[in-house]
Amino acid sequence: MPAKKKKTVRKKTVKKKVVKKKTAKKKVSKLIIQKKMTISEVVAKHPETIEVFLEHGMGCFGCGIAQFETVAQGAEAHGIDVKKLMDALNKAAKKK
């Protein structure tokens, strides 16, 4: 009688999926001056920014409203591009 062939059974390997939970990362801003800061706060912390405000037509730092008005609000009130102003302010503050 002929010898019976053995059946080879291949085992399937099942890879387990590892699901990692994505944790919400807070964005840490690298900007020294934030547009939500008040104008007087910016000038008090970074007096070198006074020249930038003047170059952009904002004499707000001497105004009483500067204590309550943010950089963004002041720029918008004077029709100034907020992004350009923020870039210039941060550039001046980094030179210090």
Q: Dump pLDDT digits (tens) for 27-74.
A: 556 778 999 999 999 999 999 999 999 999 998 777 888 889 999 999
Rounded CA-CA distance 67/37 in Å is 10
pLDDT band for position 1 (50/70/90)?
low
Only one residue has tokens 């870039």, namely 87
Cβ–Cβ < 8 Å for 80, 58: yes
